Amino acid sequence: MSSQTKIESALREAIISSPNVILDDKDVMRALISANERAMGDNVVDLRGLAMERLEERLDHIQDTHRSVIAAAYENLAGANQINRAILKMLEPMEFAQFLRDLNGKVADILRVDAVKLVLESGNSNAPHIKELNDVLTVAEPGFVDKYLTCGRGGTVRQVTLRGVHDLAPEIYDKSNGIKSEACLKLDFGDAHLPGLLVLGARDPDFFSSQQGTDLLVFFTGVFERVMRRWLE
């Protein structure tokens, strides 16, 4: 070997036979580029090195975006499975009382919420109450649903409203529940019935947020409306 040889023959042959091992290793490539820049001196601008640095930054950004997209896809899939399981559980009961118990029991557990409340508007002040299910079902005066959804300010009412909770409405929550965020699903039971409201409450203030998507909850609302109509007939 000559005095100019600075690398062992075996290593040299390995690199020549499998150059991708070097090219695919970002740390090794970065070290080679840095050594090349030092050899050229401060007065020479290595455009290839700059280009590679920018390409590396773009690759890192693409990889981060790819991971985010995959994570979001898995999250959406998990959410869809969760909604489907809750719907199947709602379809099981053959009696209305059991249906209501499951809402604040098994269905709430599947959806991972801490409270469920079903509000039915009625023009009859003597509307029947199922005493043992008052923690799930409440009967309200006409107009209550829209007023609750808009906080009494009026305006457009969305089918699904996600928001934080600051003042616990006594018609909806027991103060001891400590609910901090909620999903409000406005229910349309057809022209023959007044609207209703299904409220899902969570103690986690970030569980429901106006920044979240509502597609799955819109679907859940549509199914819930159809299930309820058979009990209201």
Tell whether 98 is covered by a domain.
Answer: yes
Q: pTM for the whole thing?
A: 0.67
Read off the pLDDT band of 213 (50, 70, 90): confident
Which whole-number Å values give the CA distances from 149 to 51, 72, 189, in the listed order?
54, 29, 17
Which residues make beta-bridge pairs with 209? Answer: none
Read off the pLDDT band of 144 (50, 70, 90): very high
CA distance 11 to 207: 56
Of residues 139 and 124, the one with the higher pLDDT is: 139
Q: What is the span of the domain harbouring residue 110?
A: 92-232
Tell whether 217 is covered by a domain.
Answer: yes
Phi, psi of 223, rounded to the nearest 5 degrees: -70, -40
Amino acid at site 148: Y
Q: Which regions of 89-212 does DSSP assign to beta strands (E)? A: 115-121, 137-140, 160-164, 181-187, 196-202
Tell whether 133 is covered by a domain.
Answer: yes
Averaged pLDDT for residues 73-88 = 81
What pLDDT does 115 receive? 92
Query: Which residues, at least 6 apart from 131, have a Cβ–Cβ distance to it below 8 Å?
Result: none
CATH code, domain carrying 215 = 3.30.450.40
Give the chain's largest Cα–Cα span.
Answer: 105
User: Would you state the structure tokens that stand for residue 200, as one six-digit string?
Assistant: 């899902």
Tell whether 14 is covered by a domain.
Answer: no
Query: Which residues, at least 6 apart from 128, have a Cβ–Cβ distance to it below 8 Å?
Result: none
Tell whether 114 is covered by a domain.
Answer: yes
Residue 212 has pLDDT above 70, yes or no: yes
CA distance 198 to 187: 7
Tell whether 151 is covered by a domain.
Answer: yes
Residue with tokens 């819109």: 218
Residues 93, 99: contact at Cβ < 8 Å? yes
Tell whether 62 is covered by a domain.
Answer: no
Tell whether 159 is covered by a domain.
Answer: yes
Q: Give the total number of structural domains in the chain.
A: 1
Find the radius of gyration of the CA atoms of the chain.
31
CA distance 194 to 120: 8
Residue 65 has pLDDT above 90, yes or no: no
CA distance 138 to 70: 41
